[in-house]
Amino acid sequence: MSFLWPQYLWFLLALPLLPVAYVWLLRRRGKPSVRYSSIAVAKSAMAGRNWKRHVPPALVLLALAALLVAAARPVATIPLPWARTTILLAIDISLSMRVTDVKPNRMVAAQEAAKQFLQDLPRDIEVGLITFAGSSHVAQRVTLERDVLVTAIDAIQMQRATAIGNAIVLCLAELFPDHGIELGAMTFGSSRQSRSIEDKAKPQPKPITPVAPGSHASAAIILLTDGRRTTGVDTLAAAKLAADRGVRIHVVGLGTVDGHASMGEGMSIYLQLDEPTLREVARMTGGEYHHAGTAEKLRAVYGNLGSRVQVQARETEVTAVLALASALLALVAGTLSLVWLRRIT
């Protein structure tokens, strides 16, 4: 914990004087003599309530201490429950995902790892699913419902080609719906002669001020692919859009790196994971690159990423919380004083 106005903490040194003054007042009140027919009767009458008389002053002392700390404007690093983290899973569904070098095949291994990832992820993190091959689709918008996401993962159907850049752009469009990010315009250009009423109603691209890569603490993209871009938006151009918005892209490269893989049943094809580009995507955006050559490694990678994309703790001024605690302590002290002692101490 740090303080914006630490000089006010010096007032805490005066707090020990209050208990001293309290004891002095008690002794001063005890000096006047009060006559009882029996001292034993007086002691017996006061024994049951003697400790209670000290509770309200003790609470007032705590209230003053909390108020003085609040005056110093403390700042604490705490997770904010209203600032949810959003994760978008972008999964390659190109036909090469049928390759069996990752058992039972790349697609099944990716589906199982993604479902395990969802199971281990805290329930207060929103997750969405983007699938991509030659085109990209929002298979499931961000949600807290894990069952819906599992259904979307199980319903994946493989297609031709690989458009990694399109997947990144579509993820950003989902994360920033007010930024006017339009995949179609980036893919085919925006110089159409006429625009439909629906197109005109869409948010127009707005200029943004680039931020530090990876500085957007409430959103992340996990991109899984087993190949290289064959169509669509340039991968690094899409990564630049993410970097300018501070969104981290954690990249998982699946399968073989040397280019030779088996489709099963004796069929061999040539595939090559574009590791240099994928590593650059992770570097540009402040994310991480992981290569997963086996199903076990893929599950480990997803587990590692799950521990990195939790709700981020943020520095927050807690002055109001301490001030409220001080007020509540003072209120409890006054209430107990009225109930137990029939007066305000």
CA count, 13 A, side-chain hemisphere, 238: 28
Residue 218's pLDDT band, with cuts at 50, 70 and 90, is: confident
Residue by residue, DSSP assigns 272-323 as ---HHHHHHHHHHHT--EEEE-SHHHHHHHHHHHHHHSSPPEEEEE-HHHHH
| Cβ neighbours for 133, distance < 8 A, ≥ 6 positions apart | 92, 93, 94, 95, 158, 159, 160, 161, 162, 163
Per-residue model confidence as pLDDT tens digits over 146-155: 999 999 999 9
Region 86-113 average pLDDT = 92
Distance CA 178, CA 131 (A): 22
Which domains are present in the chain? 2-29+48-78+315-341 (no CATH), 86-187+204-311 (3.40.50.410)
Distance CA 55, CA 22 (A): 12
According to the model, what pLDDT value does residue 123 have? 84
Distance CA 83, CA 217 (A): 9
Distance CA 315, CA 331 (A): 29
According to the model, what pLDDT value does residue 306 have? 75
Higher pLDDT, 213 or 202: 213
According to the model, what pLDDT value does residue 191 have? 46
| Cβ neighbours for 56, distance < 8 A, ≥ 6 positions apart | 333, 334, 336, 337, 340, 341, 345
Distance CA 248, CA 309 (A): 10
Round the average pLDDT of the chain to a whole number and report it: 82
Distance CA 79, CA 122 (A): 13
Q: 146-154 and 106-120 helices cross at what angle (nearest 10)?
A: 180
Per-residue model confidence as pLDDT tens digits over 61-89: 898 999 889 998 888 876 555 456 899 99
* pLDDT beyond 60 at 36: no
In the chain, which residue ranges form alpha helices assigned H by DSSP?
17-30, 39-47, 55-71, 106-120, 146-154, 164-175, 183-188, 197-201, 235-244, 275-285, 295-308, 319-341
Give the pair of three-digit tokens for residue 139.
């298979």
Higher pLDDT, 169 or 194: 169
Higher pLDDT, 337 or 107: 107
According to the model, what pLDDT value does residue 109 have? 94
* pLDDT beyond 90 at 1: no
pTM value surpassing 0.85: no
Per-residue model confidence as pLDDT tens digits over 174-201: 999 988 898 887 876 654 444 455 555 5
